């Protein structure tokens, strides 16, 4: 579908992409982590996109199996949610991923 | 107001009260913490209460200064949100509060 193609292009063209909701603390945690690490994230606030928000969330589920926010991509690769991202960070695996993504 | 009186009575009559939203991970964290500690929490899922949800959230803000969820009370005392509750837990202050509340 067109929305699927849009998402695929967005995540391959941008090193860090976060599908988020403005009221959600898990989404905030992920956004501030990237900020703290100096990684520039392209953020889509699904609750501020009118009808397109729920549509995007549904297509993201089809693409990634994940229906929740935050939904995080680095270097075109689906990372997961807040817990997954924090886990990678604590294991020292997040920053190498970020460097590799920005370097491309 | 009537809603204010209802909340005051609810939190004084019940040892642990959590105003929550079903989709919210911060709310889930707080609910599972109480479960893990064997504390029975009375939970109100504001997103499942129709028009009363937003009304309750507004009155809670008036009463506690907090407009977010989760909104936690123990022994009739306003505790705060997820972060506040976890902080008390890590400081060893939560369980004494819970014991005191159940004992009354
Ligand atoms: N373990 C996941 C939890 C994700 C989750 O449950 N997200 C909630 C918000 S915190 C959600 O998307 N709920 C459904 C919705 O908002 O549409 C993570 O760490 O990201
Ligand atoms: N630091 C607070 C954050 C609370 C917060 O921002 N809650 C969000 C959901 S995670 C909220 O209530 N957003 C507005 C809403 O859902 O009405 C806590 O630990 O509870
Ligand atoms: S909505 Fe509360 S943590 Fe996501």
Q: How far apart are CA B42 and CA B73, in angstroms?
A: 10
- Are A82 and B26 within 8 A, CB to CB? no
Q: How confident is the model at residue A45 (pLDDT cuts 50, 70, 90)?
A: very high
The two structure tokens encoding residue A66: 């994940």
Cα atoms found within 13 Å of the Cα of residue B33, Cβ hemisphere only: 24
Q: How confident is the model at residue B102 (pLDDT cuts 50, 70, 90)?
A: confident
Q: What's the pLDDT at A103?
A: 61
Contact predicate A25/B26, CB 8 Å: yes
pLDDT by residue (tens digit) across B2-57? 999 999 999 999 999 999 999 999 999 999 999 999 999 999 999 999 999 999 99
Q: What's the pLDDT at B104?
A: 44
The nearest alpha carbon in chain A to B29 belongs to A26
Say if ligand 3 is within 6 A of residue B82 CB: no
């Amino acid at each position: 579908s067109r929305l699927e193609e849009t998402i695929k292009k967005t995540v391959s063209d941008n090193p860090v992409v976060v599908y988020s909701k403005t009221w959600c603390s898990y989404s905030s945690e992920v956004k501030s982590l990237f900020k703290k690490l100096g990684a520039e994230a392209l953020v889509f606030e699904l609750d501020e996109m009118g009808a397109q928000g729920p549509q995007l969330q549904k297509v993201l589920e089809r693409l990634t199996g994940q229906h929740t926010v935050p939904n995080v991509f680095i270097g075109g690769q689906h990372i997961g949610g807040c817990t997954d991202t924090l886990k990678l960070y604590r294991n020292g695996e997040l920053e190498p991923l970020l460097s590799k993504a920005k370097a491309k």
